[in-house]
Structure 1
């Protein structure tokens, strides 16, 4: 393709974009990713997915702790990129790097900008009950996700989508959009369109508070929280004895109960039905503290029989 590309990305979301560049014959001269981090209970030092893919392709990998350090910028620019392509890299690019490549720096972002700027656009779209999102390719600016738009593609959010399934759809859509956009950008055929900053909304990184189920919310909002945090970081509630109970899956039920929100109103063979602020929600897959995830039916054969007995209340710490 002629252009020298430095690719910057870290998690699984970025891998399809890197693979698309490689498969299409772009000269990816270097990959920049976050440093290896400890993961899991045993805190094993683990390389980012993008590093693993880059090394398999024999591409030089840079992992600066702080990209803003002049030495880190110099290291990236030593590869003389014509264009820098980023996807979920995880650090703000400094001005010295943004201004250096002849064809600039482009970013693959998992939302229809200016909506959902920030680090958790996929989770937030589902948490907020959106029925559509998408991918934007933009030029990069010093402000957060505020660059000019080059192209967008819309992706529907199905009612059964989780953060995990939507992540995979958007990663694939972003890779395809990148292949459609980059050659036209390099040929000078795209006029960047400024964002309407007055319409901007934000998708900040998730906090522990975001993970807690609010049983006073409608059942539909509880459902959006459960699927919007699946398979990571997973929604949770607390049992009557104060133990954390992760909720891997559940679904709204028709009807309503004359009971305070969070009250267990029925125990079935495969579900435990809980009252919400509006409607009912059926717990179907849970993870008790110190245990692995399991169907509610399995939990009810042990400690769950008492913990989720009719009349007990979940999430009392929310009051």
Structure 2
């Protein structure tokens, strides 16, 4: 089987290695250049392709005629997409007579669309996974080839879940390839009416509304915790990032009645008070420049905020 691979990120790295290990003839890899405004905490597919001796090009837009021509010249039997960031046009997909296949980071039909791991954690899901599916004009809508589930534990961050999903993607592709290479690709319907679709998220979506229930606030913190931009709140005109947190142990003493929602300092510890009276214990609080904020320093900001309120 001769393949062209559109790939990026850790899933792109691992799935490209699976193709290589299974003996797939990867004629060309198309990947993205790093963006200067992004925290590059993941593997570079360009480095992986170089290590494996696979030809690659940078292609930000798969509709670019030069990218389409490169795919045409590679004469693929199949096309794979592993966390490539752009929708591949139907005209490019049609260049592979054996079909085009995408690896998506959820258990389709749930969480079609962008950043599925983050959305799953945000919604308090207890399970997600990776799905290999047929590509068509609509995103994440084609028939399912195979999928692998992974658990989401109550305190898992999206970064930790993404590591599991990366392994699930590797397992799914490894399991599916022998049949695909034999021309017997399994397919079952991707029942979209039973699933969901979500768009991308912006850093501003990490703003904490402390008036929401504690479970909801905690899921937001987990869903955008570093290496993602982080959930944030503001005091005295300054932004603070809640980088790590946990829920109190059963039986922990509540805050006194009437304590306002938001960040507070209790017994030398930073806590977040939520709208339902529930608490979030903040184990790592960062200033906007990334430096750690101690409980003592936060107490000073709380005093300033209180003074500002009294003067309004």
> TM-score, normalising length from structure 2?
0.88
Aligned partner of 1:275 among 273, 276, 290:
273
Range with greater deviation from structure 2 (164-173 or 50-59): 50-59
Q: State the shift of 1:35 in Å.
A: 3.0
Aligned partner of 2:176 among 176, 181, 191:
181
Counterpart for residue 211 of structure 1: 206
- Alpha-carbon distance in structure 2 between the residues aligned to 1:312 and 1:252: 26
Counterpart for residue 199 of structure 1: 194
Q: State the shift of 1:40 in Å.
A: 5.9
Distance 1:31 1:263, change over 3 A: closer
Counterpart for residue 34 of structure 1: 32
The unaligned stretches of length 5 or more in structure 1 are none
Counterpart for residue 11 of structure 1: 9
Counterpart for residue 307 of structure 1: 301
Q: Is the 8 A contact 1:264 1:312 kept in 2?
A: no
Distance 1:130 1:202, change over 3 A: same
Aligned partner of 1:120 among 107, 112, 115:
115
Q: State the shift of 1:277 in Å.
A: 1.3
Q: Is the 8 A contact 1:264 1:310 kept in 2?
A: no
Helix, strand or coil at the partner of 1:38: coil
Q: Which runs of 4+ in 1 moved over 3 A?
A: 254-257, 263-266, 308-313
Counterpart for residue 232 of structure 2: 236
Q: Is the 8 A contact 1:33 1:51 kept in 2?
A: yes
- Alpha-carbon distance in structure 1 between the residues aligned to 2:271 and 2:165: 33
> TM-score, normalising length from structure 1?
0.87
Helix, strand or coil at the partner of 2:145: strand
Q: Is the 8 A contact 2:79 2:99 kept in 1?
A: yes
* Alignment RMSD: 2.5
- Is it true that 1:88 corresponds to 2:83 in the alignment? yes
- Alpha-carbon distance in structure 2 between the residues aligned to 1:264 and 1:38: 33
- Is it true that 1:284 corresponds to 2:283 in the alignment? yes
- Is it true that 1:66 corresponds to 2:61 in the alignment? yes
Q: Is the 8 A contact 1:263 1:312 kept in 2?
A: no
